[in-house]
Structure 1
Amino acid sequence: MFAVIKTGGKQYKVAANDLVRVEKLAGEAGDTVTFENVLMVGADADVTVGSPLVDGALVAGEVVEQFRDKKVIVFKKKRRQGYRRKNGHRQELTLVRITEILTGGAKPSGKKAAPKKAAPKKAEEAPAKAEEKAAPKAAEAPAAEFKDDIKLIGGVGPALEKKLAALGVTSLTQIAEWSKDEIERIDGELNFKGRIERDDWIGQAKDLIAGKPPRAKADQ
């Protein structure tokens, strides 16, 4: 049996146990979600088309994961006006496993999708990952003579310091702990075109925190 549902302004053809990526829905992993906008229900040659919805039809699913899609770059330009704008966008999505397709006004049974076989393995790996994350923090303890000044990073002067402060970045400690998403956000806001990774700001910040001298300009 299959159904065509509508959510987030888009239509999806689904069947039991299908994994579907839809625009973000409220809920956490393991929660049950229902789709009431069912446009079509079919089984083999027996197909029911709604007008616009199929009466008494309902599709139930289980939230598997909340995540963000790949980054999309939006660039705007006006000729001969010096106008250029570059922005990035990552759509928030929900991964849903379809559990039931119901008709005739039936209610969801609340059954959960079968757990993945890989789940126990992930549970065993969790302590090891936690230890790996804790290790770098212990090794990056600030030196006694540590001076938290972001202008010590090569290429960062007073003007750029003000721009970073406007984005909430005021210390080397923050830069040293940046995630990939934060690098992309700051790089996009300042239109750096990859400069942060190219000049290894995170590596420079960690060296400065450890008490190492600033890198020479020739190394940038």
Structure 2
Amino acid sequence: MNYAIVEISGRQFWVEPEQYYVINRLPLKPGTKLVLKKVLLINKEKNIELGYPYLENAKIEATVLDHLLGKKIVIYKMKPKKKYRKKNGHRQKLTRLLINTIN
């Protein structure tokens, strides 16, 4: 079982080849191939390589599949007895990545 732990947009993800992951929006067009170089750990056939903090020769190739919006969150503010009520919503912008290879 091959996997890696990589840092993408400030968060750490456990990634495996040929799997899809949803991360915070990246400013790239769908179909763009990118190389992730902030690799913290690689486990390849029970051979574990650990970086301090990152591995220097490791890279992960990924493809941007599409952009999407997350689940809607409702924010409601209210001050009792003051007739102040404010309702607001938010949907996080997300990107779906396909991990191609781990080197």
Stretches (4+) displaced over 2 A: 76-85
Correspondence for 2:22: 21
**Stretches of structure 2 lacking an aligned partner (at least 5 in a row):** none
Equivalent residue number for residue 44 of structure 2: 43
TM-score normalised by the chain length of structure 2: 0.86
Following TM superposition, by how much is the alpha carbon of 1:80 offset from its aligned partner in structure 2, in angstroms?
4.1
User: Is 1:95 equivalent to 2:96 in the alignment?
Assistant: yes
TM-score (norm 1): 0.43
Q: Distance in 2 between matches of 1:38 and 1:8?
A: 12
* Rounded Cα–Cα distance in structure 1 between residues aligned with 2:53 and 2:79: 42
Secondary structure at the aligned position of 2:27 is classed as coil
For the pair shown, which has the larger CA radius of gyration, 1 or 2? 1
Residue-pair matches, total: 102
**SS of residue paired to 1:98:** strand
Pair 1:6-2:37 in alignment:
no
What does residue range 69-108 of structure 1 map to in structure 2 within 5 Å? 69-102=70-103
Identity %: 27
For structure 1, the residue ranges without an aligned partner over 5 or more in a row are 103-220
Matches of 2:76 and 2:53 in 1, distance apart? 38
Q: CA RMSD in A?
A: 1.6
Residue aligned with 2:99, SS: strand
Q: Which amino acid aligns with 2:41?
A: M
The 2-side partners of 1:78 and 1:9 are apart by 35
**Counterpart Cα distance in 2 of 1:37 and 1:22:** 15
Separation (CA, whole Å) in 2 of partners of 1:89 and 1:70: 8
For residue 68 of structure 1, what is the aligned residue in structure 2? 69
Matches of 2:60 and 2:24, distance apart in 1: 16
Task: Indicate the SS of the match to 2:71.
Answer: coil
Distance 2:50 2:19 in 1: 21
SS in 2 for 1:51: coil
The AA in structure 2 aligned to 1:74 is: I
Tell me which residue corresponds to 1:131. none
Structure with greater strand percent:
2
Offset at residue 84 of structure 1 (A): 2.7
Letter in 2 for 1:88: G
Equivalent runs, 1:1-220 vs 2, <5 Å: 1-102=2-103
> Larger RCO: Structure 1 or Structure 2 (Cα < 8 Å, ≥ 6 residues apart)?
2
**What does the per-residue CA deviation read over 1:81-140, in whole Å, with 9 as the maximum and x for residues that have no partner?**
4433221111111111101112xxxxxxxxxxxxxxxxxxxxxxxxxxxxxxxxxxxxxx
Alpha-carbon distance in structure 2 between the residues aligned to 1:76 and 1:36: 42
Distance across 2 between alignment mates of 1:81 and 1:57: 58
> What are the superposed Cα offsets for residues 133-184 of structure 1, whole Å, 9 maximum, x if unpaired?
xxxxxxxxxxxxxxxxxxxxxxxxxxxxxxxxxxxxxxxxxxxxxxxxxxxx
Local SS of the residue matching 1:88: strand
Which has the larger helix fraction?
Answer: 1
CA distance in 1, matches of 2:10, 2:102: 20
